[in-house]
Chain A
Amino acid sequence: MFGISDPGVWMTYVICIAALIGCIVYGYLNWNKDSDDDGSEY
């Protein structure tokens, strides 16, 4: 994958990309959650 044959290395890229996508999705889904008070917008 990506021109790299050792899974021990290409897996790091897959994990990083997956984690990054996961973080973006988490941010999107929890954009307005866990607020101390309502109506606080930036």
Chain B
Amino acid sequence: MTMAVSTELTILIVLFYLVLILGLGYYGYQRTKKVEDYMVAGRNTHPMVIALSYGATFISTSAIVGFGGTAAQYGMSLMWLTVLCIVVGVIIAFLFMGKRIRRIGKELGALTYPELLGKMFGSKFLIYASGLIFVAAMPLYTAAVLIGGARFIETTLGIPYMTALLGFAGVVALYVVIGGLIAVMYTDAVQGAIMLAGMGILLVLTYVYLGGVTAANSALEAMTPLVPENLAAIGMTGWTSMPEFGSPVWMTVITTLVLGVGIGVLAQPQLAVRFMTAKDGKSLNRAVPMGALFIVMMTGVAFTVGPLTNVYFMETTGQLALAAGNADSVIPLYINVAMPELFVIIFMLTLLSAAMSTLSSLLHTMGTTLGGDMFARLKGKRYSVRANQVGIVVMMLASLAIAVVMPRRVLLPVRQRCLWVCVRRHFCLRLRTVLRRRRRRCSRRSGV
């Protein structure tokens, strides 16, 4: 009987989550009265929803798990990425870029990012050219997200891969198609709140387990002599210190991650569209505090907890975090062995939320580009909800086809492949162990 309760608990939480998400999709459907609602959420979105949706779209699964693992390898110097994310990704993005995008978008009546660019420069060619780029390139990324999400569901919930792939795609497509950007942003907001809670708990529990902030950081600093020789040879000086200036590790940390990822955020159309959903500059002013908190909590916690896992693993196993596998396996493994059972489920929802929020935003951006900027314009028609819905369905089918047909090794970046492999090996194993343990416990209790 208790076994059923344990299994039911997991299923219940996932079902509750799905009902909530689909309910918000229906809410978006009810609130969508005209094409402007469908494409830019009626330009009247609540500041808190803008902030959480922006953050949930900004932060992908790899930012949580992949960057955490990378920080376990290279140390806390990666926190400069958090600095750049808050300065560029929030302050500059919201207050300088965002306000202009919103104002110009409203003045010109632009409903998509390609249309905004085209109207700004008075060029129809720019609309088609940027639209074509989005429609051609984004399905590859979407297919990678689909495969990652399906693999994750397959391994955590024990559902066959194709069922998981179609189910994952179907659920997200359903609420994006019926509810448009209102549904996307409200589901993003709930998913963002789950991510915020998950990372907050992770930070607090880590410092509690390691004896407090100063004690934990000091313990990590004391591990400096344990830096692997191969990393020390290329400039790594410790997990709580900057790498040697100009060394290969310094170049990796500063140029690739900090500049590449931190500044690259300004170029993403699915983020820029969020600003077009604000009613006025006041809404963006109000969104800034939550946006900043979200970004600091997501990236900052990953870059702090990642290196600290070395202290945990050294105390418990006598080895560094990376001794058990690659960088992408560190955070899932740490969650598995160090965190309470309930948190395993919360973290599962955190990763699922990160994947779904990314997928829904990509789908909406691609679909409105195809249905509005390409199809409707070429036909000489006005943008319509129906054309966008067809665009979303077509782009989802194209992404699904790529996910099924294309070889996974071509499609998935190494990071993502490693992530899901490690999730399968460690995280899901842990979840099943939890369920099995409860099953045994209840079997004993019930005398079975």
Contact = CB atoms under 8 A, between A and B. Distances in A.
A15 B76 contact: no
A4 B280 contact: no
Given A3-B217, A6-B241, A42-B46, A23 B90 contact: yes
Contact of A33 (B106, B216, B281, B287): B281
Given A4-B217, A27-B289, A34 B281 contact: yes
Interface in B35-78: 46-47, 75-77
Given A3-B217, A3-B218, A26-B285, A20 B292 contact: yes
B213 A3 contact: yes
A7 B171 CA distance: 47
Contact of B282 (A9, A15, A28, A35): A35
A2 B289 contact: no
Given A3-B221, A26-B285, A33-B281, A12 B83 contact: yes
Contact of B91 (A3, A5, A19, A28): A19
A28 B47 CA distance: 13
B280 A37 contact: yes
B40 to A, nearest CB: 15
Interface string B271-282: 000000001111
B352 to A, nearest CB: 27
A27 B285 contact: yes
Nearest to A8: B242
B134 interface: no
Nearest to B240: A4
B99 interface: yes
Contacts of B300: 16
B140 interface: no
Nearest to B99: A34
Contacts of B284: 34
A36 to B, nearest CB: 4
Interface residues of A, number: 28
A8 B238 CA distance: 12
Given A5-B240, A19-B86, A23-B90, A12 B281 contact: no
Contacts, number: 110
B60 to A, nearest CB: 20
Contacts of B192: none
A23 B284 CA distance: 11
Interface in B192-229: 213-221
A37 B283 CA distance: 12
A33 to B, nearest CB: 6
Interface in A12-33: 12-13, 15-16, 19-20, 23-24, 26-28, 30-33
Interface string B79-122: 11011001100110001000100000010000000000000000
Interface string B126-154: 00000000000000000000000000000
A4 B308 CA distance: 12
A25 B221 CA distance: 34
B291 interface: yes
B293 interface: yes
Contact of A12 (B76, B213, B219): B76
A12 B217 CA distance: 14
A29 B285 CA distance: 9
A15 B287 CA distance: 20
B215 A3 contact: yes
Contacts of A40: 279-280, 282
B147 to A, nearest CB: 34
Contacts of A35: 280-282
16 contacts: A5-B241, A6-B240, A6-B241, A16-B83, A16-B296, A23-B293, A24-B292, A26-B285, A27-B286, A33-B281, A34-B281, A34-B282, A35-B280, A36-B279, A36-B282, A40-B279
Query: What are the 8 closest A-B residue pairs judged by CB atoms, nearest first?
Result: A34-B281, A3-B217, A12-B79, A23-B292, A8-B242, A3-B218, A36-B280, A6-B241
Interface of A: 2-6, 8-9, 12-13, 15-16, 19-20, 23-24, 26-28, 30-37, 40, 42
Given A2-B214, A26-B289, A40-B279, 16 more contacts: A2-B217, A6-B238, A9-B77, A9-B79, A9-B241, A9-B242, A12-B79, A12-B83, A16-B300, A19-B296, A20-B296, A23-B86, A23-B291, A26-B95, A26-B285, A42-B286
